[in-house]
Amino acid sequence: MIELATLLSALRERFAAAVEAAADERALDEVRVAYLGRNGEVTTIRRSIGKLPPERRPGAGKEINDAVAVMEALLQERHAQLEARDVEASLEQRIDVTFLGTPPQFGSLHPVRRVIEDACGYFERHGFAVVLGPEVEPDYYNFDALNIPPEHPAREGFDSFWVNDSLLLRPHTSPMQIRTMQLHPPPVAIVAPGRCYRRDAVDARHLFQFHQIEGLLVASGVHFGHLKGMLTGLCRTLFGAYQQVRFRPSFFPFTEPSAEVDTTCPKCGGRASACSMCGGSGWIELGGAGMVHPNVLREVGYDPEVVSGWAFGFGAERLALVRYDVDDVRRFVDGDPDFFEQLA
């Protein structure tokens, strides 16, 4: 037992010196592992107990436990000293309370969502109702009721995502025009925003998922001049007070007459021959519009001899490109915080 006591005494002295020399918590933990860890010096001594006569083993175990208790107390004491030292050092640091702090970061509406809300707000102020509908629709609402029968070549132009033989992801929000007219007699005035899907190749102007804003007005005496006035007002609301709108003849199965709608380039105002946005044409295409085809009115039970209507459909991302002078629609879905911060 004398040999064990001498060994433990020397061990405690070396341990106490190592603990005192530990300059930080990491060094202190290294001392603990070296002496009290699974492969430390104390463990080595414990394993030697098995070589002692049976009658001496209990006493030897007690001596080792007593030594370990003393060593653990030294560890706790040094830990408290180091912790107190760190707290005092932190308190001694001077803080300039007049120095400008880091401003908090706040989220904001996505620019496409902001365009949708502003456009819908414009129509709501003119008495239109905002209607929303399902993104998976039967082909009846997407095509048949819109004067696009199964054999019509216009169906191919929509490049649709089909769920089964009769259901598809809507390629436009036009189904809400049919659903609304079937539920309500004229007059009807709605704007229908929402997500749409087409199998377009992704590039600077196209996405396979995009947002569309459609408008519909059906009543007695509605004519093309009303459509031009409303869309001119929308463009001035979104892009500025001096925007102009032009209509180019086009074809859509659900409107007659039909037109492509352009607005004066908001970047150059239609005056720059080398504008990067409009390519010098002075105009930016927004979407399609026209007078509701009589066949569509008949399909929902309206009499085209009594009422008439106009409709339009604009891509919200296209509106956002024009409004924020962005050259690539993919920027709206890349999730770059720096880009969105510029548009906030």
Q: Which residues contact 162 (CB under 8 A, 6 or more apart)?
A: 168
> For residue 72, is it within any domain?
yes
Average pLDDT of the residues in 192-196: 96
If asked whether residues 54 and 142 sit together in one domain, one would say: no
- Same domain, residue pair 136 and 284: yes
What is the pLDDT, as a whole number, of residue 39?
82
The model's pLDDT over 71-102, given as tens digits with 9 standing for 90+, comes to: 889 989 988 998 888 888 777 776 667 778 78
Closest Cα to residue 258, out of 178, 147, 180?
A: 147
218 within domain boundaries: yes
The verdict on 219 and 300 lying in the same domain is yes
Given a cut of 80, is residue 33 above it in pLDDT? yes
What's the pLDDT score for residue 110? 93
Domain membership flag for residue 132:
yes
> Is residue 103 situated within a structural domain?
no
- In degrees to the nearest 10, what's the CA dihedral of 67, 72, 75, 77? -100
Checking if the pLDDT of 276 tops 80, the result is no
pLDDT confidence of residue 94: 67
Among candidate residues 38, 58, 92, the one where a domain is terminated:
92
Are residue 134 and residue 50 in the same domain, yes or no? no
The CATH number assigned to the domain holding 155 equals 3.30.930.10
Residue 105 maps to a domain: no
Contacts of 45 (CB under 8 A, 6+ apart): 4, 7, 8, 11, 64
**Same domain (yes/no): 46, 126:** no
Q: In the predicted model, is pLDDT for residue 278 greater than 80?
A: no
pLDDT beyond 50 at 248 = yes
Within this chain, do residues 56 and 149 fall inside the same structural domain, yes or no? Answer: no
Same domain, 125 and 62: no
Other C-beta atoms closer than 10 Å to the C-beta of 58 total 11
Q: Is the pLDDT of residue 50 over 80?
A: no
Same domain, 236 and 335: yes
pLDDT category of residue 272 using cuts at 50, 70 and 90? low
Q: Is the pLDDT of residue 106 over 60?
A: yes
Q: Binning pLDDT at 50, 70 and 90, where does residue 42 land? A: confident
pLDDT value at position 220?
96
Q: Is the pLDDT of residue 1 over 50?
A: no
- What is the number of structural domains in the chain? 2
Domain of residue 236, residue span: 111-343
Give yes or no: residues 175 and 124 share one domain: yes
Average pLDDT over residues 224-239: 93
Give the integer Cα–Cα distance in Å for 342 and 323. 13
Average pLDDT (151-168) is: 83
CA dist 120 and 190 (Å) reads: 9
Q: How many Å separate Cα 88 from the centre of its chain?
A: 45
Helices (H), 93-185: 111-125, 139-142, 175-183
Range 153-166 average pLDDT? 82
Q: Indicate whether 207 and 169 sit together in one domain.
A: yes
Sign for the CA dihedral angle at 224, 260, 326, 190 comes to: positive
Looking only at the bridges linking them, the beta strands covering 209-219 and 188-197 are: antiparallel
Q: What is the DSSP letter of 50?
A: G
Residue 101 falls inside a structural domain: no
Q: How does pLDDT run across 294-307, given as a tens digit for each residue?
A: 999 999 999 999 99
Asked if residue 100 is part of any domain, the answer here is no
Q: Dihedrals φ, ψ of 295, to 5°? A: -65, -35
Residue 104 lies in a domain: no
Which is more confidently placed, 45 or 319?
A: 319
Q: How far is residue 2's CA from residue 24's CA, in Å, rounded to a whole number? A: 35
Do 74 and 116 have their domain in common? no
Average pLDDT, the chain: 88
Claim to verify: residue 78 and residue 136 sit in the same structural domain: no
pLDDT over 90 (residue 154): no
Q: Using one digit for the tens of pLDDT, what is the confidence trace for 253-271?
A: 999 999 999 988 777 776 7
How much is the average pLDDT of 167-179?
95
